């Protein structure tokens, strides 16, 4: 008597998971992040100019401002994703940790203040006392 194929073997083939794509190299992520930051700065300036012109002409269009703000939020979300990916890629064992400010920005060697937020460098402040 011929043996019929079972449903169990068919279902097992259906449940195979797709392969995960490898993460892009860190250099490509940094390049995309820099391009997105430049685009974000340009769009932020455009948004400021747009709101100023609306105020000058006394023609406020909330829908247009909301659309431009949504574009900026989308850009910032992608930049955050890239920061997370780069943070995972940068955590290589054996490398010395760089000094960081409370805001998260890297502190340059010998600097007394954070270039990003302006806070005094805690290590340098302790040395000068």
Burial 76-110 (b: 16+ CB within 10 A, else e): eeebeebeebeeeeeeeeeeeeeeebeeeeebeee
Task: Look at residue 19 and tell me if it is in a domain.
Answer: no
Task: Look at residue 4 and tell me if it is in a domain.
Answer: no
Number of domains in the chain: 2
Residue pLDDT, tens place only, 8-41:
555 555 556 667 777 788 889 999 999 999 999 9
Q: Do residue 82 and residue 51 come from a single domain?
A: yes
Q: Do residue 45 and residue 81 come from a single domain?
A: yes
Task: Look at residue 45 and tell me if it is in a domain.
Answer: yes
Task: Look at residue 3 and tell me if it is in a domain.
Answer: no
Task: Look at residue 12 and tell me if it is in a domain.
Answer: no
- State the distance between the two ends of the chain, measured CA to CA, in whole angstroms: 94
Task: Look at residue 10 and tell me if it is in a domain.
Answer: no
Which of 41, 37, 38, 60 lies closest to 50, judged by CA? 60
Structural domain that includes position 44: 25-89
Kindly report the pTM of this predicted structure: 0.54
Instruction: Spell out the long-range contacts of 61-64 with Cβ–Cβ below 8 A and sequence spacing 24 or more.
Output: none
Q: Do residue 74 and residue 120 come from a single domain?
A: no
Per-residue pLDDT of the chain (129 residues; tens, 9 = 90+): 556 556 555 555 555 666 777 778 888 999 999 999 999 999 999 999 999 999 999 998 999 999 999 999 999 999 999 988 888 765 555 545 667 888 878 887 778 888 888 888 876 555 555
Question: What is the distance between the alpha carbons of residues 88 and 105, in angstroms, rounded to a whole number?
Answer: 16
What φ, ψ does residue 100 adopt, rounded to 5°? -130, 150
Task: Look at residue 70 and tell me if it is in a domain.
Answer: yes
* 95 DSSP assignment: S
Beta-bridge partner residues of 100: 106
């Amino acid at each position: 008597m011929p043996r019929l194929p079972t449903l169990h073997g068919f279902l097992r083939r259906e449940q195979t998971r797709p392969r995960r794509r490898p993460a892009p190299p860190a250099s490509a992520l940094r390049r995309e992040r820099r391009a997105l930051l430049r685009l974000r700065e340009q769009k932020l300036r455009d948004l400021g100019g747009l709101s100023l012109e609306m105020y000058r002409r006394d023609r406020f269009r909330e829908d247009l401002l909301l659309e431009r703000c949504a574009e900026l939020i989308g850009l910032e979300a992608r930049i955050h994703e890239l920061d997370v990916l780069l943070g995972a890629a940068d955590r290589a064992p054996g490398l010395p940790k760089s000094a960081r400010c409370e805001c998260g920005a890297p502190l340059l060697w010998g600097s007394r203040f954070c270039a990003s937020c302006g806070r005094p460098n805690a290590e340098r402040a302790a040395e000068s006392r």
